[in-house]
Each structure stands twice: as structure tokens, then as C-alpha cells.
Amino acid sequence: MNDIVLRVVGKLLIPFAVLFALYVQFHGDFGPGGGFQAGVIVAAAVVFYALIYGLAEARRVVPDRVVEAMVALGVLLYAGVGVAGIVLGGNYLDYFVLHANPVEGQHRGIFWVEAGVAITVSGVMLKIFYLFAGRGRDEPPVP
């Protein structure tokens, strides 16, 4: 789309959308929000970018390789927190052992778990959007 209004408004709003996602992510302990919501907002910001500047441009900024890695990385990070609990002498997904102070350990566990959720959710949402939006452009129409 070559609409100057959309381009300018998009350029102004997208950084704030990403910033809001970070706020939702890291303030999720105190206010509403958390990994899932933050991941979706990040994905929505990139979708917004793709709608205004075109899919090819969005794929250049956030390449498929990165998105596909994020899909798996988040789950691995989440599962890794669980394994860290075992290694440090607790049960799977036991956060109390992650720090000498149990409450601090809980904080640490929740932080990394939420980070994993955000990474996987934003990766999956973006990948699905890329695949849907990229279809049918250079393929022959289905009869």
C-alpha cells in the first residue's frame, strides 16, 4: 500500500506497539498481561508492518529463519527451566531451587517461563501469517 498517511502513522505507532508488548511482558507480574499476550502483540506489530509496507519488506525485517527458530526456541526455553530445576536438586519445573531465596527463585522461574511462552507464541503467529499471506501470489489459481 502506498498511502502516505498509513506509512507515517505506521512508522509512529509500530515502535510503541512493540514497547507496549515489552511492558505487558515484563509488567505481567504486577498488572494484567504475560507471555502469551506480549507474544501476540509483537506478532500483531509485525503483521501491521507487513500490511502497510508489504509482505516482502516484513520478511526482510523479520526473516523466516528467525521466526522458525523462535517457534521451537520458546518451548525449549520453557522445558529448559524445568530441567534446570532437576539439575539444581528439585523437581521438574520447581522454581524454588533456582535461587538461594525461594521467592527470588519463583521470580526467576516465572520470568524465563513467560519469556519462553512469548517467543513461541509470537513465532507461531507470525509464521502462520507469513504462510497464509504468502500463498496464492505466484501460484496458478485453483480451478
Partner 1 sequence: MIDALIVAALLAMMAAIAVAIVRQRNLFGVIVLFGAYSFIMATTLAALDAPDVAMTEAAVGAGISTVLMLGALHLVKTMEAKPAEGAIGPLVVVILVGVLVAYGTLGLPSFSDPQSPIHRHVAPRYLEEGLKETGVPNIVTAVLASYRGYDTLGETTVVFTAGIGVIALLRRRRRQEPGK
List contacts with partner 1 (CB under 8 A): 24, 28-37, 40-41, 43-44, 47, 51, 68, 71-72, 74-75, 78-79, 82, 93, 95, 102-104, 106-107, 109-110, 113-114, 116-117, 120-121, 123-125, 127-129, 131-133, 135-136, 142
Return all residues near 142 (Cβ < 8 A) that are at least 6 apart.
none
Nearer to partner 1 (CB atom), residue 19 or residue 72: 72
Shortest Cβ distance from residue 55 to partner 1 (Å)?
10
> To the nearest 10°, the Cα dihedral for 6, 12, 119, 112?
-160
- Between 3 and 29, CB nearer to partner 1: 29
CB of residue 22 to partner 1, shortest distance in Å: 14
Which residue bears the cell 539439575?
87
What end-to-end distance do the CA atoms of the chain give, in Å? Answer: 28
What is the C-alpha to C-alpha distance for residues 122 and 125, in angstroms, rounded to an integer?
5
